[in-house]
Amino acid sequence: QQPVQSPQAVILREGEDAVINCSSSKALYSVHWYRQKHGEAPVFLMILLKGGEQKGHDKISASFNEKKQQSSLYLTASQLSYSGTYFCGTEVSYNQGGKLIFGQGTELSVKP
Amino acid sequence: EAQVTQNPRYLITVTGKKLTVTCSQNMNHEYMSWYRQDPGLGLRQIYYSMNVEVTDKGDVPEGYKVSRKEKRNFPLILESPSPNQTSLYFCASSNWAGGGQPQHFGDGTRLSIL
């Protein structure tokens, strides 16, 4: 079943923060985050494995709450380059050979 | 350069005319997958393959076929395309058939079935 992302869209001014959420009804092994610019391929951001870990890259970080089957992506002090559609992808099992189910996406627009 | 290559990038064709979209990766990845992307629906998996001669259905496999005869290639076949298969298609690969590995996407193929 497809994970649910919220919000569906968000508009920010440069320098503002945003949070994108991803919720699943199934127990998860991992959560992936990708960003897609218009007309381009999705690009990998980070993976979180079960265990409640948190990861960060520059001013983008994410957390994974294994008990709630939820992940959140945090964008701090947003830059124009952060604009795009963000997708979470979920894996329910280590043994399913990497089968990813993606959410419907969150469109992020950063304005000057 | 490590990459996933899809061909063609764009195709306009007619209902019922068989077509093949090729996908090739040069990273020696075991896992490969096909997705279709439609507005508001995100990326939906069509088929995936964990290794040569091992394929399985994703969430929307109807009307599609795949084969994995070589590790680097994973073509998507539409035997009798219909207008509801008009979409943006992505091929992806990852390093290992276990979980928790990032997927590398091709640049996409935009198909229009008239």
Per-residue pLDDT at A99: 77
Summarize pLDDT for B77-106 with one digit per residue, the tens. 999 999 999 999 999 999 865 667 888 999
Question: B18 falls in which pLDDT band (50, 70, 90)?
Answer: very high
| Edge-to-edge order in the sheet of strand A60-65 | A4-6, A18-23, A70-75, A60-65, A54-57
Assess contact for B19 and B30: CB atoms under 8 A: no
CB nearest to A101's CB, from B45, B50, B100: B45
Per-residue pLDDT at A49: 83
The per-residue pLDDT of chain A, averaged, comes to 89
B88 close contact with A: CB closer than 8 A: no
